[in-house]
Amino acid sequence: MTLSRIGLKSKESELISGKLNELLANYQIFYMNARGFHWNIKGHNFFELHTKFEELYNDSLIKIDEIAERILTLGFIPVHAYSDYIKTSKISEVKNISKGDKAIQEILKGYEILLPIERGLLSLAGEHSDEGTSALMSDYLREQEKLIWMFNAYLNTD
């Protein structure tokens, strides 16, 4: 059994890093979608949604950096080409959305993909005593569950 510099089993860290790279790819597309919503939003809720989408893409940018740095901490290389992001991501690119409700529905679809990946990573990291990855995923899940509730309340759906 080979241990990494941070005391985790190298083979398990490689597995976790692979899943983190999958999450990274999905976050990159989520980020660009949120950025596009911010730029293109129109209508009577422009001001509030323009600001909310900016919060989302800024938060995503922080998470992208955290995920990439976690991969590096585990001793592996984060994916860093958009061609790889497009190939790997389960979140689809969306273009030219200017209606608030449609943009929020796309954000919610993104979370429907991100949360299961994060839950899977939380479980995998827990199995292999990777507290750093576990803590990161736990933080993300708590934040995003609340956002999903808020976006659903905004859309007046359950």
Q: Domain spans of the chain?
A: 10-155
pLDDT of residue 158: 60
pTM equals 0.95
pLDDT tens profile 18-37:
999 999 999 999 999 999 99
Greater model confidence, 84 or 5: 84
pLDDT tens profile 48-78:
999 999 999 999 999 999 999 999 999 999 9
pLDDT of residue 93: 96
pLDDT of residue 94: 97
Of the candidates 33, 153, 6, the one whose C-alpha atom is nearest the C-alpha of residue 103 is 33
Q: Which CATH class is domain 10-155?
A: mainly alpha
